[in-house]
Amino acid sequence: MPQVQVNGRFVPDMKSPRTADNEEPAAERACDFRPVDKGFTKEMALAEAERCMDCKKPLCVEGCPVNINIPKFIEKIREEDFGGALDIIREESMLPAICGRVCPQENQCEGKCVRGKKSEPVAIGQLERFVGDQPELASKPKMAPKNGKKVAVVGSGPSGITCAGELARNGFDVTVFEAFFTGGGVLVYGIPEFRLPKAVVKREIDGLEELGVKFEYNSVVGNITTADELFEKGFDAIYVATGAGLPKFLNVPGENLPNVFFANEYLTRVNLMKANNFPEYDTPTKHGKNVVVFGGGNVAMDAVRTAKRLGAERAIIAYRRTEDEMPARRAELHHAKAEGVEVMPLVSPLEFVAGEDGTVCAVKVQKMELGEPDESGRRRPVPIEGAIEEIPCDVAISAIGTNANPFAKKIGGKMELNKWGYIVADEETGQTTDPRIWAGGDIVTGAATVILAMGAGKKAAASITKAAAEGQI
Amino acid sequence: MYKILEKTQFSEKVFKFRIEAPEMAKHAHAGQFLMVRANETGERVPFTLAGWNPEEGWVEFIFMVIGKTTEMLSTYEAGDSIKDVTGPLGMPTEMAEGPCAVIGGGVGLAIAFPVAKHLVETGHEVHAIMGARTKDLLLLEDQFRELLDDDHIHITTDDGSYGEKGVVTAPLERLLQDKAVTQVFCVGPVPMMKFSAMTAEKYNTPITASLNPIMVDGTGMCGCCRVEVDGKTKFACVDGPDFDATKVDWNDLRARQAAYRTEEGQSLKAYEEANCACHRYR
């Protein structure tokens, strides 16, 4: 650890700066889909690992939703035992290469890091990613003997694959049913290549297959099979992790004009169907010159940065509050702005306007100002009377959130749903009102984060393992 | 991979594939569809389920060559495999009791047939109105004739090369006037569905249309297939594809269907250039 001499004693240098991220220059990276962040080199990782103070009561561990033993894996990095570091992470998380990249660490582990109080927190996410990217160094996971029980996992997003991996390690025979032709859920259709390379997701899925997890793709559970049929086929339990993929409407005129997209479609075309490589790939997309994205979350950032990479001259994030209230990660907002994205705060869409060719040519927005705080404690945006502006755009994208996956209700069983279509499940165990069905991730909580979905998958796996041990399933 | 068990050619540009898909065959209903991705670089394209057999474990779909994907699919033979086939998707067709007219236009006849068959099997009296631009494009006539008596089959061609010269609304209007049918199902090009809807509405007869917007995932995730029905936005892939035809905003559907016409042309041209004989043997 870097030390300084204070009053004749050597103490840790609390002001030693955090090792800077290894980023591609903004001007170059904004032209293509290569990863923005190249990750730490070995030297950078070793230098950053030195900054960890190995706290007796590590708050960072509390900040991690799956409680990875952070000081211990960082200690292994200092010892240059990267395989050992990965083994420690894998005791709690099967997907370090993904979480190291997409977790909002500033609100989780790094947000709690003691060093962050005086200067900058340890770059835990970067260190986790550094070891996660070297899976060949890890030991083979310890597998429990087969217990003869079969579990069906519905959905292969972060929650489903975490649950599947844990269950396989615990001796279950696991089959994952996925509606798409490939696994990963939002990790493959939602989060762009420049934030999370698809090769990393594939590597993690391949790893699960090596553990014996089976994947049935193109399987829309609810239509192709139901909970009752899965039980008839010999499955002992089901974990439902179908996510919250149904886009929310803006409910303004012109929303259905051609070239007005929901972010899900815009991102799926590029991320999953590779529309950026059209016509080598068959799926086309629209390369707008002027693109407006409504929303202030990570999905909005992903959409606007994608638009920039597809050649937009002007790419705007239009948000009804101000930058300070944006739910997106600060790093993503910072990246977007560095890439030339324009932020237009305090506007709300009123109407999409059609041009002569019948596609969108402009959007009328209502200007807002911040009023009194609402129930969430954030100041409520209030329209400024008569302040209406028309912004020219040839592509408009709505990224204001999503609702429950509509297939959850078709799965059946005795599982209860709330009035918004989300599954009712025990917070601690993930068990639903049907004792043989568990659920977790966005289909229980509504749209949240990758790591929370993973945490829910882990809890459910533990609960299913316990139920099997106690002979309840 | 999904194996093609049988390929049938109906006309120069219209083909039927029978695909090995046992789970889908067990759960299929009339009015539902499947999504196909032909190969690794392929796009996802929806096709209506045209037939299925749960005992033998296959499903069928009919397609007309109109662009890159369908042109490429037409080169696939029995024994070849399609990369991905997902389904059944969408809501099954629902019809009340009573005699019905099933209208199919062009390749829409492939969609109308399983619906007609389902209606016959559930005890309905069915009139089939079969429309095509010209005789060669009239699909499934043999199958319809096997299903229905000749006096329940009404054929129109735009150019008069077969059956009655004109469009499907003429026989529809006669059936409605005679009160021979109490509900109508239609599927085909937008103008055909629109005018069928206007005709049925004139006689206060309920009419359902199977809509065919562009789709990407087909499971309600992206909203590419959204349509305006009774002033509300609906997702055809999960809320439909069947809707009350008198409430559909046809202009909106047509505009959204045409959104990628330029790109579709580019894609087809690139494919044809790469695959035409003069390039291949050069």
pLDDT tens-digit map of B170-197: 999 999 999 999 999 999 999 999 999 9
Instruction: Using CA coordinates, name the residue in chain A closest to B90.
Output: A223
pLDDT at site A9: 73
A171-226 pLDDT tens trace: 999 999 999 999 999 999 999 999 999 999 999 999 999 999 999 999 999 999 99
- The DSSP H or E segment spanning B253 is helix B250-257
Report how many Cβ contacts below 8 Å link chain A to chain B.
111
What does the alpha-carbon distance between residue A423 and residue A430 come to, in Å, rounded to a whole number? 10
Task: Name the one residue in this structure whose structure tokens are 């999953």.
Answer: A272
Q: Could you give the angle at the alpha carbon of B178 between the alpha carbons of B173 and B184, nearest 5°? A: 55
Encode A70-82: b = buried (16+ Cβ within 10 Å), e = exposed.
Answer: bbbbbbbbbeebb
pLDDT reported for residue A331: 87
Residues of A with Cβ-Cβ distance to B84 under 8 angstroms? 181, 217-218
Below-50 pLDDT ranges, chain A: none
pLDDT score for A144: 94
Report A:179-198 residues touching B (Cβ under 8 A). 179-181, 189
Distance (Å, whole) CA A413 – CA A230: 10
Rounded distance between C-alpha atoms, residue A443 and residue A269, angstroms: 23
**CA nearest B188: which of B130, B116, B238?**
B130
Binned at pLDDT 50, 70 and 90, residue B282 comes out as: very low
Q: Exposure string (b/e) for B240-273, b if CB count within 10 Å is 16 or more?
A: bbbbebbbbbbebbebbbbbbeebbeebbeebee
Is A258 near chain B, with CB under 8 Å?
yes
Q: Which chain B residues contact residue A259 at CB under 8 A?
A: 259
A358 at B interface, C-beta within 8 A:
yes
Query: Pairing between strand A342-344 and B2-9?
Result: unpaired
In this structure, the strands spanning B164-165 and B2-9 are unpaired
Q: Looking at chain A from residue 207 to 236, which residues have their Cβ under 8 Å from any Cβ of chain B?
A: 217-220, 223-225
Question: How far is the alpha carbon of A222 from chain B, nearest alpha carbon, in Å?
Answer: 10
Out of A189, A223, A255, closest to residue B89 by CB:
A223
B150 secondary structure, DSSP code: G
CA distance readout (Å), A412 to A240, A364, A457, A473, B99: 11, 43, 20, 18, 34
**Chain A residue closest in CA terms to B263:** A284
Residue with structure tokens 């041990």? A469
Q: Is there a contact between B23 and A247 if contact means CB atoms under 8 Å apart?
A: no
Cβ–Cβ under 8 Å, residues B93 and B30: yes
**What pLDDT score was predicted for residue B277?**
58
Q: Tell me the per-residue pLDDT of B222-280, one tens digit each, with 9 for 90 and over.
A: 999 999 999 999 999 999 999 999 999 999 999 999 999 999 999 999 998 888 755 54
Q: Are B63 and B53 in contact (CB under 8 A)?
A: no
- Cα distance from B190 to chain A (closest Cα, Å)? 17
In chain B, which residue's Cα lies nearest the Cα of A263? B222
Q: What percent of chain B has pLDDT over 70?
A: 98
Q: How confident is the prediction for chain B on average, in pLDDT?
A: 93
Residues from chain B that touch A218, judged by Cβ atoms under 8 A, are 84-86
Calculate how close chain A gets to B206, using CA atoms only, in Å: 26
Output the furthest CA–CA distance in chain B (Å, rounded): 64
Is A281's Cβ below 8 Å from some Cβ in B? yes
What is the amino acid identity at position A391? I
Give me the pLDDT at residue B278, please.
Answer: 58
pLDDT at B104: 96
Structure tokens at B217: 């995932």
